[in-house]
Amino acid sequence: MRTLPDIGIVGAGIAGLHLGLMLRQHDVPVTIYTDKPAAALANGRLLNSVAHHAPTIKREKALGVHYWPVEQYGYSCHHHYVGGPRPLVFRGDFDEWSSAIDYRLYLPKLTEAFEERGGQLEVRMLQAEDVEPLAERHDLLVVAAGRGAFASLFPRRPELSPYERPQRVLSVGTYRGIAYSEPKGVTISASPGHGELLEIPMYTAAGFTTALLFENVPGGDLEILGKRRYDDDPKAYERLVLDKLATHHPRTFERVDPAQFELTSPLDILQGALTPTVRQDYAKLPNGKYALAIGDVHTVVDPVIGQGANSASHSAWVTGEEILADYGFDELFCRRVAARRADVVLGAAQWTNLMLAPPPEHLLRMFGAMDENKAIADEFTNNFDYPDRQWRILATAERTGEFLARRS
Amino acid sequence: MRTLPDIGIVGAGIAGLHLGLMLRQHDVPVTIYTDKPAAALANGRLLNSVAHHAPTIKREKALGVHYWPVEQYGYSCHHHYVGGPRPLVFRGDFDEWSSAIDYRLYLPKLTEAFEERGGQLEVRMLQAEDVEPLAERHDLLVVAAGRGAFASLFPRRPELSPYERPQRVLSVGTYRGIAYSEPKGVTISASPGHGELLEIPMYTAAGFTTALLFENVPGGDLEILGKRRYDDDPKAYERLVLDKLATHHPRTFERVDPAQFELTSPLDILQGALTPTVRQDYAKLPNGKYALAIGDVHTVVDPVIGQGANSASHSAWVTGEEILADYGFDELFCRRVAARRADVVLGAAQWTNLMLAPPPEHLLRMFGAMDENKAIADEFTNNFDYPDRQWRILATAERTGEFLARRS
Ligand SMILES: Cc1cc2nc3c(=O)[nH]c(=O)nc-3n(C[C@H](O)[C@H](O)[C@H](O)COP(=O)(O)OP(=O)(O)OC[C@H]3O[C@@H](n4cnc5c(N)ncnc54)[C@H](O)[C@@H]3O)c2cc1C
Ligand SMILES: Cc1cc2nc3c(=O)[nH]c(=O)nc-3n(C[C@H](O)[C@H](O)[C@H](O)COP(=O)(O)OP(=O)(O)OC[C@H]3O[C@@H](n4cnc5c(N)ncnc54)[C@H](O)[C@@H]3O)c2cc1C
């Protein structure tokens, strides 16, 4: 006889849902609290432009929620373009494919699966003062509420949070009129001093579209894409996008058909900015119980290298395994989750933060090596799946030097 | 082309040798510095009475140094005796056998293998001030010097070191005249308030002998075994041992043949005491390089549940894997070793420290359950191989309660 814990989860994003689904596979009673019904998400504004990498797709398969087969919806590579006087153009191939499905399709479908499998869903807006009574109701409360409401429960860790403000001003939208790259892949285009473009083959309610995620440096020539509101003059905004693509991100521009180019629908654009922040792994509540943070409420990364959701899913997975294996939900439990996920989750955060900084010499060396050596570009690309490995290569100039010495 | 780091190791105990042997399997240049030639160990005083558990034996096999096949030299179980008005007597079986080989045989044989396989051995007595120049000579310096000389390099971690002084006064010797238990196993006998006896079937230069490791509570009736010097009057000491066995550890006493009973030789006894201490994982040297601590110099545990050498070997293994996988020997490297070994190494320390304390209620409940339920006794016994798992069961009363609820 196995006694089963009762788990409460705040938040129905990827973190909360992957954890909830995993626990339901083991018959653990789970309640997810969320402020928005799935239908509101489905019909709402674009949430993000998330690419899932192979480890996340493996978890989806294990959870029985891989509804968009990666061979059909996914892509196989990264096309890199680094602008400048002597542009670098090279490709890195994944061993296993990634894919990007609009979260307005993805999250509602997983929410449905969660409920079908006996998960409880309570739709209500929670406040900070609800946390303690909720924790009373369950053996463990996991907070997976994203970067909003509950962040203050988990103090910021300054030693892992080098930035006080956003490093990029974002504009992300799904567009038609852009031919996919060959082979189908994400194009990562950097315009030094101005920011990056991630061009992502994304499946949405409108079918196969292209997400353009502009990561614009504050003060640079592209900042305006994040600042000028699309809604004020949609056509003018689209012309602005085309104009900036032509100047800064030519590899994507050359695949645009200007006659067809437009946002797929007025809700399919999101503009804003976020401050990368790593927070404490858990909080001790006044009643003596612990609340564990997973996903964005624990670690917010800038989306410039597409790590946040993958990291959130990893965190959910580790948490689920520990819930199933452990005998209590005390500080020892929380610390063990923290220790087990640290390499991947903090690796993702640290690598991302490096990519936001003015590129140090050794990162430029790395790009140079990728341009010259396909195997290195492939390894770099595969390490989007393993941010801990990537960080171990990129953390210092010495490490990158040693990595390159071994590979050449 | 793989560039190979050059590794220096201070200490030729199990920690230094397991690490050195592992690195030699991958052609990594290694120098071990030690203050004693192997021959001095071989002909010297008893060092300890170490039992190796299955994970350590697996590592020996992987290293090609499993010279005393466990099926022939090992044992299969723990016989428990807990004295008191209503003594508990029960047995726990291992899934995989353990074994105890005299380190005066074991360490010299592994040292020989290390040198045969191209490892460098430098016999010299080092001082604290030698550490920095040695670190200069190698890409990484690993300190595996046991609980003596270099401990001060790695500050004590008070939150993990609850004791300021020894909790047991030890007397360990190898004896003849004790028939092995059936099935062959270690007997763990507790005399509440006075201490424990570990009776270990140990293979030594004298053949199959029995190690009696008396773990005596300071101030208790058995303390004298650690305090009275054997050498002052060997026969009287042996009579004292017999006398104390009869009173406190009857399950062992009943297998003694008093006519045959004696120490196997005058050097085969060791008396003393140690303070359980967990130290920092690594130190930054003034020259900017890092020295990593493994084995007793990092974590000294009382031998009451036989964890120190197994923990040291685990630490060596994790360190070796990280040396082979990583690109630099900086703080990130040291932290990763620390994080990866923490569950096993600190689990061993915390579990051991619990066993040294006056037994809390939940530990007594656990013993009661083991007495009644063989499966629980077997699981407890197998967890000598996995101190992290054991600690997760025993860390709090709630955890033990939950564990027992699930198992019954
Ligand atoms: C433009 C963009 C592109 C991105 N691209 C990628 C990418 O390519 N790859 C990648 O891995 N990551 C990417 N990310 C990051 C990724 O979107 C997030 O890391 C991830 O979705 C976070 O998931 P989560 O479950 O932690 O939080 P969320 O998805 O934010 O979920 C939070 C949940 O909590 C609920 N909630 C919040 N407050 C309350 C409250 N007060 N009461 C009740 N419920 C509440 C919400 O309704 C929601 O259900 C991108 C992000 C952006 C913005
Ligand atoms: C009685 C007893 C019973 C035990 N039973 C068990 C058991 O059943 N199971 C278990 O797992 N553990 C047991 N232990 C613990 C185990 O013996 C130790 O944890 C283990 O041997 C430590 O190994 P090490 O390599 O870290 O250090 P050590 O074996 O102490 O090796 C240290 C090395 O460093 C060298 N050195 C030290 N100082 C210097 C210097 N200044 N210059 C140069 N070289 C130096 C030494 O010569 C030696 O080679 C027991 C210990 C005792 C005392």
Which pLDDT does position A149 carry in this prediction? 83
CB B330 within 8 A of CB A398: yes
CB within 8 A of B315, min separation 6: which ones? B15, B294, B295, B298, B299, B337, B341, B345
How do residues A329-387 score in pLDDT, each as one tens digit?
A: 999 999 999 999 999 999 999 999 999 999 999 999 999 999 999 999 999 999 999 99
Residue B317 included in any domain: yes
Provide mean pLDDT across the span B48-62. Answer: 98
Strand pairing report for B185-191 and B195-204: antiparallel
Nearest-Cα distance to chain A for B354, in Å, is 15
Shared domain for B314 and B211, answered yes or no, is no
Shared domain for B150 and B283, answered yes or no, is yes
Element (H, E) at A310: helix A308-325
Shared domain for B296 and B316, answered yes or no, is yes
Between the alpha carbon of residue A314 and those of residues A6, A156, A290, A294, B267, the distances in Å are 21, 21, 20, 9, 55
Instruction: Please indicate whether residue B171, judged by its CB atom, sits closer than 6 Å to ligand 2.
Output: no
Residue A68 included in any domain: no
Which pLDDT does position A148 carry in this prediction? 84
Say which residue the tokens 């909830």 belong to.
A20
Nearest-Cα distance to chain B for A289, in Å, is 13
Q: Which of A355, A339, A348, A352 is nearest to A386 (CA)?
A: A348
Shared domain for A116 and A226, answered yes or no, is no
Rounded to an integer, what distance in angstroms lies between the CA atom of residue B355 and that of residue B255?
Answer: 26
Element (H, E) at B199: strand B195-204
B168: helix, coil or strand? coil
The three-point CA angle B19-A337-A116 to 5° equals 135
Residue B16 included in any domain: yes
Ligand 2 centroid to residue B13 C-alpha, Å = 6
Which pLDDT does position A154 carry in this prediction? 97
| Pair of tokens at residue A212 | 């353009």
Residue B252 included in any domain: yes
* DSSP assignment of A233-277: -HHHHHHHHHHHHHHH-HHHHTTB-TTT-EESSTTSEEEE----E
Quick one: pLDDT band at residue A260, thresholds 50, 70, 90? very high
Q: Tell me: pLDDT of B253 over 80.
A: yes
Q: Of the candidates B211, B241, B272, which is a domain's last residue?
A: B272
Between the alpha carbon of residue A87 and those of residues A91, A193, A304, the distances in Å are 13, 14, 20
Shared domain for A292 and A350, answered yes or no, is yes
Domain count, chain B: 3
Instruction: Please indicate whether residue B174, judged by its CB atom, sits closer than 6 Å to ligand 2.
Output: no
Say which residue the tokens 């196995």 belong to.
A2
How do residues B113-144 score in pLDDT, each as one tens digit?
A: 999 999 999 999 999 899 999 999 999 999 99
A332: chain B residues, CB-CB within 8 Å: 391-392, 395-396, 399
* Torsions phi, psi for B188 (to 5 deg): -110, 110
Quick one: pLDDT band at residue B2, thresholds 50, 70, 90? low
Q: Tell me: pLDDT of A1 over 70.
A: no
Provide mean pLDDT across the span B177-193. Answer: 98
Strand pairing report for A7-10 and A140-143: parallel
Rounded to an integer, what distance in angstroms lies between the CA atom of residue A250 and that of residue A178?
Answer: 12
Element (H, E) at A143: strand A140-143
Shared domain for B261 and B302, answered yes or no, is no
Alpha helices in A28-144 (DSSP H): 38-42, 54-63, 70-73, 103-116, 131-137
Provide mean pLDDT across the span B142-150. Answer: 94
Rounded to an integer, what distance in angstroms lies between the CA atom of residue A392 and that of residue A387?
Answer: 9
Ligand 2 centroid to residue B333 C-alpha, Å = 25
A398: chain B residues, CB-CB within 8 Å: 327-328, 330
Q: What is the DSSP letter of A29?
A: -
Which pLDDT does position A42 carry in this prediction? 97
Quick one: pLDDT band at residue A102, thresholds 50, 70, 90? very high
Q: Of the candidates A318, A338, A356, which is a domain's last residue?
A: A356
Residue A79 included in any domain: no
CB B147 within 8 A of CB B297: yes
Q: Which of B332, B395, B408 sits opposite A332 (nearest CB)?
A: B395
Rounded to an integer, what distance in angstroms lies between the CA atom of residue A94 and that of residue A381?
Answer: 6
Q: Tell me: pLDDT of A287 over 90.
A: yes
Rounded to an integer, what distance in angstroms lies between the CA atom of residue B178 and that of residue B181?
Answer: 9
Determine the longest span between alpha carbons in chain A, in angstroms: 69
Which pLDDT does position B3 carry in this prediction? 75
Provide mean pLDDT across the span B267-277. Answer: 97
Between the alpha carbon of residue A406 and those of residues A381, A403, B389, the distances in Å are 18, 5, 38
Rounded to an integer, what distance in angstroms lies between the CA atom of residue B304 and that of residue B169?
Answer: 11
Shared domain for B323 and B346, answered yes or no, is yes
Q: Residues near ligand 1 with C-beta < 6 Å? A: A 10-16, 33-36, 48-51, 125-126, 144-146, 148-149, 170, 172, 213, 295-296, 303, 306-310, 312
Between the alpha carbon of residue A234 and those of residues A229, A231, A264, A371, the distances in Å are 8, 6, 12, 38
Between the alpha carbon of residue A95 and those of residues A89, A382, B70, B123, the distances in Å are 20, 7, 42, 49
Rounded to an integer, what distance in angstroms lies between the CA atom of residue A368 and that of residue A144?
Answer: 39
- Closest-lying ligand to the alpha carbon of A316? 1
Residue B337 included in any domain: yes
Shared domain for B258 and B182, answered yes or no, is yes
Rounded to an integer, what distance in angstroms lies between the CA atom of residue A254 and that of residue A250?
Answer: 6
| Pair of tokens at residue B139 | 């890409």
Q: What is the CATH number of the domain that holds A201?
A: 3.30.9.40
Q: Which of A168, A266, A265, A175 is nearest to A225 (CA)?
A: A168
Which pLDDT does position A2 carry in this prediction? 54
Provide mean pLDDT across the span A10-30. Answer: 98
pTM of the model: 0.95
Provide mean pLDDT across the span A207-217. Answer: 98
- Helices A14-25 & A54-63 angle (0-180, nearest 10): 40
Alpha helices in A117-177 (DSSP H): 131-137
Between the alpha carbon of residue A146 and those of residues A45, A53, A163, A271, the distances in Å are 17, 20, 19, 17
Give residue A282's Cα distance to chain centre: 21
Provide mean pLDDT across the span B374-382. Answer: 98
CB within 8 A of A218, min separation 6: which ones? A166, A167, A168, A169
Within B83-194, strands assigned E span 88-101, 120-123, 140-143, 169-176, 185-191
Q: Which of B322, B313, B382, B378 is nearest to B61 (CA)?
A: B313
B398: chain A residues, CB-CB within 8 Å: 327-328, 330
Which pLDDT does position B149 carry in this prediction? 83
Residue B242 included in any domain: yes
Shared domain for B279 and B329, answered yes or no, is yes
CB A191 within 8 A of CB A215: no
Q: What residues form DSSP beta bridges with A154?
A: none
The identity of residue B22, as a single letter, is: M
Nearest-Cα distance to chain B for A203, in Å, is 37
Nearest-Cα distance to chain B for A278, in Å, is 17
Q: What residues form DSSP beta bridges with A190?
A: A82, A196
Exposure on the CB side of residue B38, measured as CA atoms within 13 A: 19
CA nearest to A396 within chain B: B328
Q: What is the DSSP letter of B301?
A: -
Say which residue the tokens 């303690």 belong to.
A132
Mean pLDDT of chain B: 97
Q: Tell me: pLDDT of B347 over 80.
A: yes
Between the alpha carbon of residue B289 and those of residues B139, B292, B339, the distances in Å are 9, 10, 19
Rounded to an integer, what distance in angstroms lies between the CA atom of residue B377 and that of residue B77?
Answer: 10
Show the domain range for A369: 361-407
B328: chain A residues, CB-CB within 8 Å: 395-396, 398-399, 402
Q: What is the CATH number of the domain that holds B349?
A: 3.50.50.60
Mean pLDDT of chain A: 97
Shared domain for B113 and B191, answered yes or no, is no
CB B156 within 8 A of CB B279: yes
Q: Do B398 and A330 count as a contact with CB atoms less than 8 A apart?
A: yes
| Pair of tokens at residue B141 | 């310096």
Shared domain for B180 and B133, answered yes or no, is no
Q: Do B330 and A392 count as a contact with CB atoms less than 8 A apart?
A: no
Residue A320 included in any domain: yes
Strand pairing report for A30-34 and A7-10: parallel
Q: Of the candidates A247, A272, A297, which is a domain's last residue?
A: A272
A391: chain B residues, CB-CB within 8 Å: 332
Shared domain for A185 and A314, answered yes or no, is no
Q: What is the dihedral of CA A355, A360, A363, A365, to 10 degrees?
A: 160
